Chain A
Amino acid sequence: MTLSKRFTALDLTYLGVVAAVSGVIFALTWNVYFIGSALGGPIVARIISYGLWFIGAPLAATLIKKPGTAFLGEFLGALVETLIPTYGAFTNLIYGFVQGAASELAYLIFRYRKFGVVQASLSGALAGPPCVALDALLFGDIFPPEVMVLVTLAATVSGAIYGAVAALAVRSVRR
């Protein structure tokens, strides 16, 4: 079954806009990350910035409300960010793929019947642990165990907060 049987041209255009908006936000978030890192170290940096890097998924899913949109919103946003380009370069694609897949689970759990604030918050939160795992695997961001727990918690909480922010923003715009 081709994608166009499930997505209209309007859905795809919305997805394109979300990819562009996400790409812009992802690119600007590097500044937020560096500011947070300089002021408060790895935990504060993750609390204030990581959720912004997970925002593509809840944004797309809440807006379009169809299976696969969470993954595409995050991955295409990461692809746009790669083409801008930013500090992360091609690694953004790896992060976008993994984060998008994790975020998609939040909607799959509810069998794609609900696309509310709770689901958006969960999709942001689910992207946190794999993102921290990629940081450790790819960039060697390995801290002592208690710090790793706090870092993972910070990324998860940040994802949950900004997932909710994304859903509420879409609701206020679509009203």
Chain B
Amino acid sequence: MIVVKPLTLFIYGLVITVLAFIARSTQQLLILSLVNAPVGILLGFRRLRVLIILFLLGLVGLFINALVFANNGAPVLDLQVITVRDGALISFLNVTLRLLTILGAALIFITQSNVRDFIKSLEEELGLPKDVAYTLAVGLRMLSILERDAKEIQLVRVERGYRKYPLTPSGVSSFLRPLLSLGLERAVWIGIATELRGFALRSLERKGFRVGVSDVLIYSLLIIQCSTLFMFH
């Protein structure tokens, strides 16, 4: 079984995302999406199928957007109500391939890495300051707790006859205040405990940036995909 470091997957995902925006031609985007999207969707479908399905549904909106704002060029399909032109189809295809690439890269990272190991490697190998690493660790630990609090707040809002998702500033305020209050109350005690345990005196041994065989394979794949930018224009 190939085990890749979380930091490698993070760098891979970030660079692929940037590549997806730099790439302008359909051929470049096709290569990037064919490499990343199937792998990401296959790995992520079990755990994140809702996100993937929402993404696919969002493509309908993208197509409508392309029809409204980029429907120029030679006619391709005459639906009597509207004529679909090649400009709209190319625009839709390029945006779809770009988003598929980004989604695939993100799913590969999310499904194959552990968040705690990721923060640890950011700190030990990339030299992320311990304060930022601690803040991230607290934030991610609190996330599941706050998500549960947010769901409870939504439930109470619905029971009281309000919308589940606040759409107005007063609605957002009524959602934000209890969430913040609960989070800050926990933060006070966590912060005091951290301070008492000598957080300010904590020092960390930096291990430097290391790569294994599997990391080299991932970086090689990344370099090959970067080279596609020079192959097609």
B176 close to chain A: CB less than 8 A: yes
- Of residues 103 to 141 in B, which have CB atoms within 8 Å of A's CB atoms? 103, 105-107, 109-110, 115, 129-132, 134-141
Q: Name the segment of A99-107, A112-120, A162-170 touching the other chain.
A: A162-170
Q: Which residue of A lies closest to B118 (CB)?
A: A83
Q: Name the segment of B177-185, B209-217, B222-230 touching the other chain.
A: B177-185
Tell me if B143 and A89 are in contact (CB < 8 A).
no
B30 close to chain A: CB less than 8 A: no
Tell me if B188 and A76 are in contact (CB < 8 A).
no
Give the distance in Å from the alpha carbon of A21 to the alpha carbon of B132 in the complex: 16
Q: Which residue of B lies closest to A10 (CB)?
A: B191
Tell me if A80 and B14 are in contact (CB < 8 A).
no
Tell me if A13 and B115 are in contact (CB < 8 A).
no
- In angstroms, how far is the closest chain B Cβ from the Cβ of A168? 7
Q: Which single member of B179, B195, B199 contacts A21 (CB below 8 Å)?
A: B179
B interface residues, tally (CB under 8 Å): 65
B161 close to chain A: CB less than 8 A: no
B51 close to chain A: CB less than 8 A: yes
Q: Which residue of B lies closest to A75 (CB)?
A: B132
Tell me if A169 and B135 are in contact (CB < 8 A).
no
Give the distance in Å from the alpha carbon of A15 to the alpha carbon of B140 in the complex: 12
Q: Which residue of B lies closest to A144 (CB)?
A: B69
Tell me if A17 and B17 are in contact (CB < 8 A).
no
Contacts of B183 in A (CB 8 A): 17-18, 20-21
Tell me if A140 and B135 are in contact (CB < 8 A).
no
Contacts of A82 in B (CB 8 A): 106
Q: Which residue of B lies closest to A39 (CB)?
A: B167
B190 close to chain A: CB less than 8 A: yes
Give the distance in Å from the alpha carbon of A26 to the alpha carbon of B103 in the complex: 17
A79 close to chain B: CB less than 8 A: yes
Give the distance in Å from the alpha carbon of A56 to the alpha carbon of B83 in the complex: 44
Tell me if A85 and B139 are in contact (CB < 8 A).
no
Q: Give the size range of A's interface with the partner.
A: 35 or more
- In angstroms, how far is the closest chain A Cβ from the Cβ of B119? 10
Grouping DSSP codes into helix (H, G, I), strand (E, B) and loop, the A interface class, with mixed when no group exceeds half, is helix
Contacts of B132 in A (CB 8 A): 3, 72, 76
B73 close to chain A: CB less than 8 A: no
Give the distance in Å from the alpha carbon of A24 to the alpha carbon of B168 in the complex: 17
Q: Mark A152-174, 1 if CB is under 8 A from B, else 0.
A: 00000000011001101110111
Contacts of A162 in B (CB 8 A): 169, 172
B21 close to chain A: CB less than 8 A: yes
Give the distance in Å from the alpha carbon of A101 to the alpha carbon of B181 in the complex: 27
* Max count, chain A CB within 10 A of own CB: residue among B17, B135, B167, B187: B135
Tell me if B14 and A90 are in contact (CB < 8 A).
yes
Tell me if B129 and A2 are in contact (CB < 8 A).
yes
Q: Check A7/B131 contact, CB under 8 A, given A32-B167, A86-B51.
A: yes
Q: Which single member of A3, A7, A17, A79 contacts B138 (CB below 8 Å)?
A: A17
Tell me if A37 and B61 are in contact (CB < 8 A).
yes
Seed contacts A89-B103, A165-B176; 18 additional CB < 8 Å A-B pairs: A4-B130, A9-B191, A17-B180, A18-B183, A20-B183, A21-B146, A32-B167, A48-B167, A76-B132, A80-B139, A84-B143, A87-B58, A89-B106, A90-B102, A90-B109, A94-B17, A137-B21, A165-B169
* Interface residues, chain A, with chain B CB atoms under 8 Å away: 2-4, 7-21, 23-25, 28, 31-32, 34-38, 48, 52, 55, 59, 63, 72, 76, 79-80, 82-87, 89-91, 93-94, 137-140, 142-143, 161-162, 165-166, 168-170, 172-174
- Can you list 18 A-B contacts (CB < 8 A)? A3-B132, A8-B191, A12-B134, A12-B135, A13-B190, A15-B135, A16-B135, A17-B138, A19-B138, A20-B139, A24-B146, A35-B165, A76-B136, A82-B106, A84-B143, A90-B102, A138-B21, A169-B177
